[in-house]
A and B are shown apart, each in its own frame.
Chain A
Amino acid sequence: MIRINNVSFKHRATPILHDVSLDIAKGGVVALIGPNGAGKSTLLSLVARLQALQTGTISVDGLPVDTTPGRDLAKVLAILRQDTTVASRLRVRELVGFGRFPHGRDRLTDEDHAIVDAAMAQFDLTDLSDRFIETLSGGQRQRALVAMAFAQGTDYLLLDEPLNNLDMYYSRALMRSLRSVADAGGKTVVIVLHDINQASAHADRIVAMKDGRIVADGTPADILTPDRLEAVFGFRMRVETIAGKPFALHQL
């Protein structure tokens, strides 16, 4: 369980988060949605201790993120940040292998290699495993980074807009993979999404943020209503239900 209690955050003098409290139970896919600048990425980076907490507390499975040793947290929680760039000349297999670093430190065991192979297979990277990252397309690179976070083998997986750079095929494939690791592996996936229809199709729960506050929290059917969406995004859109799931026609 991720517990976020009364977290506020300022970047210099600019307030980013206002007294945010949120509990995320173990298991399932939780989507964070909201307009640009709502504080979604900041909240995720605070949970993953990439930025120091200013006020409030955050714990993951009872481990306070600000005082738990980084290595212990790295076995519980993995994060992929938005726009992660890899400037190093590493092969796909090497990059994904570094996801195992928190477990084996400097030596990969046979079990580690098996997990790396499985992660590469899951994200359709097996044929690319000996290629240098810099020779891949943006989408392939993004999949390699997701596979690395996945190979970390943690119960909690935080992903900040992982669908960037992915085409329709791989966006759907990634969301379905995340769905299956949550269902079969009992993992907790917290994912920042811009496409609310992906959230509706694949998430169990949607948390909507705006101006540094949580403004809506519920199942896709709760959140995807014209009134709620207008409150979050600032304009009215049609919502249609297809195959039992609500979809917002925000392009119209």
Chain B
Amino acid sequence: MTSAVFQPSQRINVIAGLGLAALVVLSLIVGVSPLSLDKVLSDPEAMHLLVVSRLPRTLAAVLCGAGLAIAGLIMQTLSRNRFVEPATAGTAQSAELGILLVTLLFPAAALWVKTLVAGGAALIGTSIFLVTAHRLPPQQPFLVPLFGIVYGGVIGAVATFAAWQADLLQFLSVWTNGEFSGVLRGRYELLWIAAVMVAIAWLVADRLTIMALGREASIGLGIDYARMMQIGLVIVSVITALVVVVVGMIPFVGLAVPNIVSRLMGDNVRGTLGWVAAGGAGLVLACDIAGRLIRYPYEIPVGTVMGVVGGAVFLWLLFRRGGHG
């Protein structure tokens, strides 16, 4: 018996790269005021639209998508469970609670201060989730995501209650439902830190693969398990906090993309990380473009589009697993 192995050849690399490039170009063109790329150089207004709005929006979608997919991959590695991601296991909700509290207490704080507080809150919330997840019986793989959903729900409820008391519910929805329509030059650049986090993940890719083999295998191979856990937690928390603060949370990217890549290519992070990042970027870009087109000229937030697309993918993954036994 030979197993069906999907080896990414040079050709598939090129096709995937072209696909992502096509999505980027489409994202630059599509919008309320149409933009044709051939006029950009001659028409200063078109150039302005491109540089101030479309390009930042496109880059934001790419950075958020790649970052969230990697955050999901790392979270699945650290919890040794395929069904968790930042949006469903308390990370995003903790970041939302953090930024809500800092907005309440220090409304004049700079955006980077708020991001820092959101990141710290995400770190604490995710640590508590992971400590608990490691105590759940490994024979019951669905307990971990179920616990995550309940745990995230409780933190989200606390945030909603606090926001309601302070009359800040509208703010909260900005952070909980991702949307790129407000992204302009000067308001998304923090997201480049997510790219730095993805680069760090690339540097420790082999260690992440070994971490997925468990604590004992990691220590046996000379990895500082506690230290790697902290690095992974920081990457997940920083990426999630950045996305929550800058555009609002986008669900399911971190769940769907790493799972599909794992199905097709396995779990050797060194080989799959680029695909996970590119897949996340492509998925978020595609959902954002769809959100711009479905009710043209009105927009549907990318978080809503992703909720529908990602939900369908998640169900497919669950049923596939059921079929495997």
Contact = CB atoms under 8 A, between A and B. Distances in A.
A70 B223 contact: yes
A105 B267 contact: no
A105 B210 CA distance: 11
Contacts of B209: 88, 90, 98
B222 A101 contact: yes
Interface string B208-220: 0110111111011
Contacts of B266: 88-91, 94, 132
B212 A87 contact: yes
Contact of A88 (B5, B222, B224, B267): B267
Interface residues of B, number: 28
A73 interface: yes
A135 B221 contact: no
Contact of B220 (A48, A69, A87, A94): A48
B57 interface: no
B219 A101 contact: no
Contacts of A113: none
A131 B223 CA distance: 26
A88 B270 CA distance: 13
Interface in A150-204: 152
B216 A98 contact: no
B142 to A, nearest CB: 14
A50 B216 contact: yes
B268 interface: yes
B189 interface: no
A88 B212 contact: yes
Nearest to B263: A89
B267 A70 contact: no
A72 interface: yes
Contacts of A149: 220
B217 A70 contact: no
Given A50-B219, A98-B210, A70 B3 contact: no
Contact of B213 (A70, A86, A131, A152): A86
Nearest to A80: B220
Interface in B39-98: 80
A90 B221 contact: no
Contacts of B138: 85
B214 A84 contact: yes
B222 A71 contact: yes
A74 B267 contact: no
Contacts of A69: 222
Interface string A118-159: 000000000000111001000000000000010010000000
Given A89-B263, A90-B267, A131-B2, 6 more contacts: A45-B216, A50-B219, A81-B216, A102-B222, A132-B266, A135-B1
